[in-house]
Amino acid sequence: MIGRNAAISAWLREGHAADVAFNVRMGLPGGQHETSLFHYAINGFIFDQITVAVDPSADRNQVIDDFVERLIPRTN
């Protein structure tokens, strides 16, 4: 039987590798480092939501909108 830590680590790493591959395949901006930053931000946001919020007055939808706005550069 595989340990919980090993199972979660494998799941996170496989998801990260799949996201990097998807970005490359689709020609999206950013590489492995930027995808890692995205994962850190999303994982931190999820942790914040399921534990004690850093800023309980923050609007979750606005936080996500702001995050996306800053993460993905606009192209014209």
> Is 55 within 8 Å of 49 (Cβ atoms)?
no
What is this structure's pTM? 0.68
Assigned domain for 44 exists: yes
Assigned domain for 62 exists: yes
pLDDT of 64 reads: 85
Q: How far is CA 58 from the centre of its chain?
A: 19
Per-residue burial over 18-54, b = 16 or more CB atoms within 10 Å of its CB, e = otherwise: ebbeebeeeeeebeeeebeebeeeeeebeebeeeeee
Assigned domain for 36 exists: yes
Q: What is the pLDDT of residues 20-57, one digit of tens each?
A: 999 999 998 888 998 898 888 888 889 988 999 899 99
Instruction: Determine the structural domain holding residue 51 and report its residue range.
Output: 4-71
Assigned domain for 56 exists: yes
Assigned domain for 57 exists: yes
State the pLDDT confidence band at 76, using cuts at 50, 70 and 90.
low
Instruction: Count up the domains in the chain and report the number.
Output: 1
